[in-house]
Amino acid sequence: MTKRLLFLFAFLFPVLATAQDNSVELRDAADALVSSHNSLQAAYNAIPSPMTQGYRIVIQQTYTGANETYPISFTQKDGASASQKIQVYPAAGVTMVTVGGTPTNAPSWQLDGADYVVINGNAGNGPAGSAINMTIQNLATTGANSSALRYLNGATNNHVMNCKFAGYTQLSAGPRTVEFQLSANNPEGNSDNLFEYNEVFGGRSGIGIAGTAANPNKNIVIRNNKIYDFGFAGIWVLSGTNSFEFTRNEIYQTQFYNAAHSGMNIAIILGTNKVAYNKIYNLANTSTSTLRGITVSSTSNGGTLQIYNNMISLALDNGTKTSVYGVQLGGAGDYTAELFYNTIYIGGAHTGGTAGNIISAGFVKSNTGDTSSFYAKNNLIINRRTGGTAGALHTGSFISTLVTAGTLDIDYNIYYGADSAALHAGWGGFVYNSITQYRDSAAPHEQNSNFVNASFVDSVDLHLAGASLGDLRLAGTPVAWITDDIDGNTRDASKPYVGADEGLVPLPVELASFSANVNENNVILTWTTVTELNSKSFVVERMISGGSWTAAGEIAAAGYSTEIRTYSFTDRNVAAGSYSYRLKTVDFDGSYEYSPVVEVSLGVPSEFAVSQNYPNPFNPATTVDFQLPADARVTLELYSVTGEKVASLLNGSLSAGYHKHLIDAASLRLTSGIYIYRFTAVSADGKEFRQVRKMTLLK
């Protein structure tokens, strides 16, 4: 029996070893097989340096990593370039392949000075955004350098996509699942790297970036990733980093850990950096410390951080907490921060905190740099968090420090605080529930900002819903270089919505004024619009006292306009009485809304009068206006210049008021020439009024 078992073991072992021998293929640029290997490291080592063509490392389903020595290290290959890349991917048909082991205090895979490497986790090397068929992991739970993937020593122009990265060091200080490390002796830094469409699980931080001041990591793009269940930060920028771009990532939690916590923690700002189109939500921790969606603590000078079109929701109760902030701009550095079109929601019930302190806010500016510059426009910040220590405060935003020599430009923002004190915003150390008092305190800033609640799809999906769609109070101001929203929808060029979501319902006409004036028996209506979006027409509606609304006329609207426009409509020959007027603004989609109502009164004239006919000269018709202060018998007669009576135009009793009579030359068979018309009015008390005027007919 023993001999048979030994024989069976000896038979199986060569089969397994042989399977691993062919588990990684090295192919040339034309996809021809160069050689087969038992590890990724062996395949990479087989690539010549300098390279004269691109290469492909194709991982087979049989790969287990049993022959790897960690870290797998891809070093520099001379000749690598944009046209001669090294591509690594699972073979077509692979369901899932796993790379990595348990290298404590070391990465599973590192790009050590490697350039132009493409790691694609999609089986068959599909495009970015394809299915994930490769996991890269480090199972170690301790060790400051226990990462799944590390860039170091000048790794540049690399592209990593469609992979899942896993780290298990949430409770160990320091390590990141994916880390961009130091480049101590290479001035290029770990620069121009693209990391997209990946899943990043765990780690003390999901992704960490820490370069040196002399050789900073530059132009790192992290986009379209899911980053979740980390211990400290989803993305942590520690040092030596210049001009990063973090866009269209989802950062969230399904598991919670005992640490101060933030979606993004940015400790340095150099160059121009972009944080845009991200969704950060369901963050939580089990400690009593702070919770932040995005926190900035930079002590560097001169850089710019653009934060726009992000949705940040911190809606969980989160137990006892010092404070919960959506975005906090802190640190002592003199930098420029631009916050535009962000939607921030704070919810849940608070426990703990300190009386007199702001324990929750959508946005806090606490930076102490004297020459810093801060621009904040079109942000929608709603705080519905309640509870906490008695006397602790919840607010929409809090601008606690004001620059002395830098620039502030803050306006067109919406703030709302829903706790019992309704403290919607703070400025310079004071908090306010009155928009008038807040604007007075913040002047000349925030003069177009407002305190308004908003409705969302739910506490995580912060797209506008319900009454907030079409709510003109949520109108912002255009920012020239931001033309779309978080979903790629085009921003309205004149009156965009505040927040990350450009609502699908266009904001209606903004009416600046509407007035009515009386001229004899005419009512002249005038109105002015500031902006018009999708407006088709203005219907003028009239109602006599005690009556019902009727249409008096209609004026075409501008459709789309960003300029101040003035309109006028004259309602003619209105009988004496009291009237109300309103405008019905009709959009091209059939929707409409009414303006405020204006009221006028038309009385009877104080004396008899008859006007010069108009037009004069005329052909073929002309009009004569006259007014009666009392009921009267009226005659209007037409004579030739020789005194011959040509026609009796009017003969009858009329009521007091304003009247007009049309003279039609054709029906009277008048020839060209000068005529005289005589007007006579006799009131019931015997008073008589006569007037004679000339008119000229030209044919």
pLDDT of residue 2: 37
Q: Band the pLDDT of 340: cuts 50, 70, 90.
A: very high
pLDDT tens profile 301-338: 899 999 999 999 999 998 888 899 999 999 999 999 99
pLDDT of residue 11: 39
Distance of alpha carbon 456 from the chain centroid: 14
pLDDT at residue 118 is higher than 90: yes
pLDDT at residue 13 is higher than 50: no
Average pLDDT on 652-656 reads 91
Instruction: Mark whether 99 and 186 lie in a shared domain.
Output: yes
pLDDT at residue 589 is higher than 80: no
Q: Band the pLDDT of 1: cuts 50, 70, 90.
A: very low
Domain assignment present for residue 241? The answer is no
- Residue 585 belongs to a domain with what CATH number? 2.60.40.2060
pLDDT at residue 132 is higher than 90: yes
Q: Quick check: 557 and 566 in contact, CB under 8 A?
A: no
pLDDT at residue 7 is higher than 70: no
pLDDT of residue 238: 93
pTM assigned to the model? 0.76
- Specify the range with the lowest mean pLDDT, choosing from 89-103, 164-178, 485-499, 530-544: 530-544
pLDDT at residue 256 is higher than 90: no
Instruction: Mark whether 514 and 470 lie in a shared domain.
Output: no
Alpha-carbon separation of residue 440 from 253, 432, 448 (angstroms): 41, 11, 12
Instruction: Mark whether 184 and 327 lie in a shared domain.
Output: no
Domain assignment present for residue 210? The answer is no
Average pLDDT on 282-306 reads 90
Instruction: Mark whether 142 and 5 lie in a shared domain.
Output: yes
Instruction: Mark whether 561 and 575 lie in a shared domain.
Output: yes
Domain count, the chain: 4
3-state class (DSSP) for residue 2: helix
CA dihedral sign of residues 231, 237, 240, 244? positive
DSSP summary character for residue 17:
H
pLDDT of residue 680: 96
Instruction: Mark whether 438 and 300 lie in a shared domain.
Output: yes
Instruction: Mark whether 519 and 617 lie in a shared domain.
Output: no
CA dihedral sign of residues 286, 288, 292, 298? negative
pLDDT of residue 368: 87
pLDDT of residue 237: 96
pLDDT of residue 689: 94
pLDDT at residue 420 is higher than 90: no
Average pLDDT on 612-619 reads 95
pLDDT of residue 554: 96
Spell out the long-range contacts of 456-465 with Cβ–Cβ below 8 A and sequence spacing 24 or more.
456/343, 456/345, 456/382, 459/313, 459/315, 459/345, 459/347, 460/281, 460/282, 460/313, 460/315, 462/311, 462/313, 462/343, 462/345, 462/499, 462/500, 462/501, 463/501, 464/497, 464/499, 464/501, 464/503
pLDDT of residue 52: 98
Average pLDDT on 246-251 reads 99
pLDDT of residue 580: 95
Domain assignment present for residue 365? The answer is yes
- Specify the range with the lowest mean pLDDT, choosing from 63-67, 134-138, 350-354, 591-595: 591-595
Domain assignment present for residue 391? The answer is yes
Average pLDDT on 402-409 reads 84
Instruction: Mark whether 352 and 449 lie in a shared domain.
Output: yes
Rounded CA gap, 325 and 295, in Å?
Answer: 8
Average pLDDT on 362-379 reads 93
Domain assignment present for residue 215? The answer is no
Share of the chain above pLDDT 90, in %: 78
Higher pLDDT, residue 692 or 563: 692
pLDDT of residue 487: 98
pLDDT at residue 8 is higher than 80: no
Rounded CA gap, 162 and 153, in Å?
Answer: 24
Q: Give the range of the structural domain holding residue 526, as residue numbers without chain letter.
A: 510-602
Average pLDDT on 492-498 reads 89
Instruction: Mark whether 286 and 434 lie in a shared domain.
Output: yes
DSSP summary character for residue 397:
E
| DSSP alpha helix (H) spans, 171-251 | none
Higher pLDDT, residue 95 or 12: 95
pLDDT of residue 19: 55
pLDDT at residue 10 is higher than 80: no
Instruction: Mark whether 273 and 297 lie in a shared domain.
Output: yes
Domain assignment present for residue 197? The answer is yes
Instruction: Mark whether 571 and 645 lie in a shared domain.
Output: no
Domain assignment present for residue 515? The answer is yes
Average pLDDT on 477-490 reads 97
Average pLDDT on 87-110 reads 98
Share of the chain above pLDDT 70, in %: 97
pLDDT at residue 18 is higher than 80: no
pLDDT at residue 579 is higher than 90: yes
Q: Quick check: 688 and 635 in contact, CB under 8 A?
A: no
- Residue 677 belongs to a domain with what CATH number? 2.60.40.2550
Q: Band the pLDDT of 21: cuts 50, 70, 90.
A: confident
pLDDT tens profile 146-201: 999 999 999 999 999 999 999 999 988 888 999 999 998 899 999 999 999 999 99
Q: Band the pLDDT of 107: cuts 50, 70, 90.
A: very high
Which one of 602, 625, 654 terminates a domain? 602
Which one of 570, 602, 634 terminates a domain? 602
pLDDT of residue 122: 99
Which one of 201, 232, 251 terminates a domain? 201
Instruction: Mark whether 176 and 302 lie in a shared domain.
Output: no
Rounded CA gap, 508 and 501, in Å?
Answer: 17
The two structure tokens encoding residue 521: 């028996």
Average pLDDT on 356-367 reads 93
Beta strands in 82-184 (DSSP E): 86-90, 97-99, 109-112, 117-120, 134-138, 149-152, 159-161, 164-167, 176-180
Rounded CA gap, 665 and 658, in Å?
Answer: 23
pLDDT at residue 133 is higher than 90: yes
pLDDT at residue 85 is higher than 80: yes
Q: Quick check: 400 and 363 in contact, CB under 8 A?
A: no
Average pLDDT on 117-140 reads 98
pLDDT tens profile 511-547: 889 999 998 889 999 999 987 877 899 999 999 988 9
pLDDT at residue 17 is higher than 60: no
Average pLDDT on 376-394 reads 95
pLDDT tens profile 183-193: 988 999 999 99
Domain assignment present for residue 440? The answer is yes
Instruction: Name the nearest CA neighbour of 539 among 512, 509, 575.
Output: 509
Summarize the chain as % helix, strand, coil (round to 5): 5, 45, 45
Mean of the per-residue pLDDT values for the chain?
92
